[in-house]
Structure 1
Amino acid sequence: MTERPMPSEEGILAFHKRCEDFYPADAVDADIAQQRAWYDALCAAFDAPPPAGMVKQDSLVAERIAVRRYRPAKVTTQTRLFYIHGGGFVVGSLNSHDAICAEISEAAGAELVSVDYRLSPEHVWPAAFDDCWAVLVELLLEGHPVVLIGDSAGGNLAAGLALKARDEGLKGIAGQALVYPGLGGDLVSGSYQDMAEAPGLSTADIAYYRDIYGAPDDAVHAFPLRAENLSALPPAFITGAYFDPLRDDARAYAARLALSGVPVEFREEKQMIHAWLRARFMSEGARAGFAALCDAVRRMANP
């Protein structure tokens, strides 16, 4: 039996143990309602108060898509940030990444909007993507540049939005920040094989999420790595986790963007596992990775 790949940093190991106390490793075998209840409890356990002076406001886009707008006490740019949460297209909400959004908004000195897109299996592809696209269009109509940010499934959606915006000639995206994104790798080689049983996310889990999302193989905006042309896309910051089946998606996308002439900043967190953003108060590696993400977003939003 192959030994399970594990990091050695004590902070991230403690984070992983705490996560499994709320969200068991075999969570995908449970029904959807149970998965969401576990995930909500997990997110609440890692919640944090907003920065001083942060103002939040909930509203609707197109009279149906819930969004939350964050305005820090000190705004230094008119660029807007658009955050798309992870959760395998199955779990997550405006609340699941609330503290993360508030802290990124504060660090960048920029207003941030997060979106409560429709989830699978009730709403399969392209429902989530269409919701995010509608919010992006609404933001760009306000007349300010937008930086796309997403983690995991949200990173997939953010990358797909950048592709569609380019394909349709929609201007105004100042950058894209993709955090351990799932971008359509082959599930059978590289990190999908080496990290198949990595802590926090397995290759089998990824196969489950893809299946339940229901995107057809030829839906390029759902599988950005399958796009033939990656030129003329916004500058990118991409960060992956070494102990993550999705690791090579981040590596491959960053490399292909660079070869296509797109400015790319790439990081790989050598001791991190999937979902390390939530470990930023427990793990030195996660704290450093989060600081790098915030710095990259700040630079994109304040050129």
Structure 2
Amino acid sequence: MTDYRTLIDAETWAFIEKTNSYYPPDTIDYTVPQQRTIYDRMCREFFAGYPQGVTAETTAIATPANSIPIRIYRNAAPDNAAMVLYIHGGGFILGGLDSHDDVCAELCARTGYEVVSVDYRLAPEHLHPTAFDDAMDAFEWATRTYDCPVVLCGDSAGGNLCAAVAHATRGHAKKPTGQMLIYPGLGGDHSRGSYVTHAEAPMLTVRDLDFYKHIRTGGVDRTGDITLYPLADGDFANLPPTVLITAECDPLSSDGEAYRDRVVAAGGYAAWFEEPGLVHGYLRGRHMVGRARTSFARIVEAVSALGRGDWIW
């Protein structure tokens, strides 16, 4: 069994304990509406506000089948080199425009890029591939609306959706200029690596992952579906430059390494960073955990570079 007392520092333990006080580990055993209530409360407790000079507008993307709520973040001193399409985490059943509001505002402030957060439809009311379809529609809208490169950025479930969009659009006339994947779940092998070493990690367990997969798919076996499991793709050529950042104490960490290796083997650009001693969801701890603060700075640097078309790794 992994001894997390030797891997996780005091600041990170304080973050874990604060998170658990609002979102207990057994929350997964509650109903989905109850989970959402608990999650939303936890998000409010960690909300850090907007940096000076950042404004936000909540609107929607009209599609033939749906209206997708979005929130657009703008900087008082904009850098129009690129825009960021942000897709939030939450196990495909939680979250929305408010759950990652301050993260998007800070990303906007520190890169200068406009950031658009996407409120895709959630399971179980909307099973796969609904969230993927919404992410695709949002990306296509962004390429029509912005006369600049589009950087995909997402955490956890959002990282999964970003990668799925990148795979689906690589043959398009307009495709992502880069993707920043933050502790994404990409459909890796559960019998090896971090899935075994960190199966019972604080903040996220393999049992949690199985629950989210079952909810998202309605229990249907979708083995080989690359819109659900990007690592199932047999072709990793011509993908956009990709930066993956994972947490050491997270069952999903090996997905970052596996994805990096396949992109590089196919002749592409990919870099993977495993943040030592951090846990899934650490973005919320970026103001109270030194390691998380450093990692967020790395994320900002990567998004900025991808937007400029620079490969600095």
Structure-1-length-normalised TM-score: 0.96
C-alpha displacement of 1:265: 2.3
- 1:222 maps to 228
Partners of 1:213 and 1:196 in 2: CA distance: 20
Q: Runs in 1 of length 4+ with deviation above 4 angstroms? A: none
Partners of 2:161 and 2:169 in 1: CA distance: 12
The answer on whether the counterparts of 1:77 and 1:301 sit within 8 Å (CA) in structure 2 is no
C-alpha displacement of 1:254: 1.0
1:115-264 → structure 2 map (5 Å cutoff)? 115-142=118-145, 143-166=147-170, 168-214=171-217, 216-264=222-270
Secondary structure in structure 1 of the residue aligned to 2:99: coil
Partners of 1:266 and 1:218 in 2: CA distance: 24
- 1:51 maps to 51
Deviations 1:94-115 (A, max 9, x none): 0000000011111111001001
Give the letter aligned to residue 158 of structure 1: C
Q: Which has the higher contact order (CA 8 A, sep 6+)?
A: 1
Deviations 1:80-106 (A, max 9, x none): 100000000010010000000011111
The answer on whether the counterparts of 1:198 and 1:244 sit within 8 Å (CA) in structure 2 is yes
Partners of 2:124 and 2:16 in 1: CA distance: 26
> Is residue 108 of structure 1 aligned with residue 114 of structure 2?
no
Deviations 1:25-65 (A, max 9, x none): 11111001110011001111110121112110011101610
Partners of 1:172 and 1:209 in 2: CA distance: 29
- 1:294 maps to 300
Give the letter aligned to residue 250 of structure 1: G
Check 1:199–1:67 CA distance in 2 against 1; reply closer, same or farther (3 A cut): same
The answer on whether the counterparts of 1:54 and 1:71 sit within 8 Å (CA) in structure 2 is yes
- 2:272 maps to 266
C-alpha displacement of 1:302: 2.6
C-alpha displacement of 1:77: 2.2
C-alpha displacement of 1:4: 5.4
The answer on whether the counterparts of 1:4 and 1:198 sit within 8 Å (CA) in structure 2 is no
Give the letter aligned to residue 74 of structure 2: R
Check 1:34–1:4 CA distance in 2 against 1; reply closer, same or farther (3 A cut): farther
Structural RMSD (CA): 1.3
Number of positions where the alignment pairs a residue of Structure 1 with one of Structure 2: 301
Check 1:261–1:40 CA distance in 2 against 1; reply closer, same or farther (3 A cut): same
The answer on whether the counterparts of 1:187 and 1:207 sit within 8 Å (CA) in structure 2 is no
Partners of 2:158 and 2:100 in 1: CA distance: 11
- 1:40 maps to 40
Secondary structure in structure 1 of the residue aligned to 2:245: strand
Check 1:195–1:62 CA distance in 2 against 1; reply closer, same or farther (3 A cut): same
Deviations 1:116-151 (A, max 9, x none): 100011101011111111010000012321000000
Partners of 2:185 and 2:79 in 1: CA distance: 32
The answer on whether the counterparts of 1:144 and 1:172 sit within 8 Å (CA) in structure 2 is no
Secondary structure in structure 1 of the residue aligned to 2:208: helix
Secondary structure in structure 2 of the residue aligned to 1:221: coil
Identity among equivalent positions (%) equals 39
The answer on whether the counterparts of 2:169 and 2:175 sit within 8 Å (CA) in structure 1 is no
Secondary structure in structure 1 of the residue aligned to 2:181: strand
The answer on whether the counterparts of 1:80 and 1:112 sit within 8 Å (CA) in structure 2 is yes
Partners of 1:19 and 1:11 in 2: CA distance: 12
C-alpha displacement of 1:299: 1.1
Partners of 1:3 and 1:141 in 2: CA distance: 48
- 1:18 maps to 18
Structure-2-length-normalised TM-score: 0.93
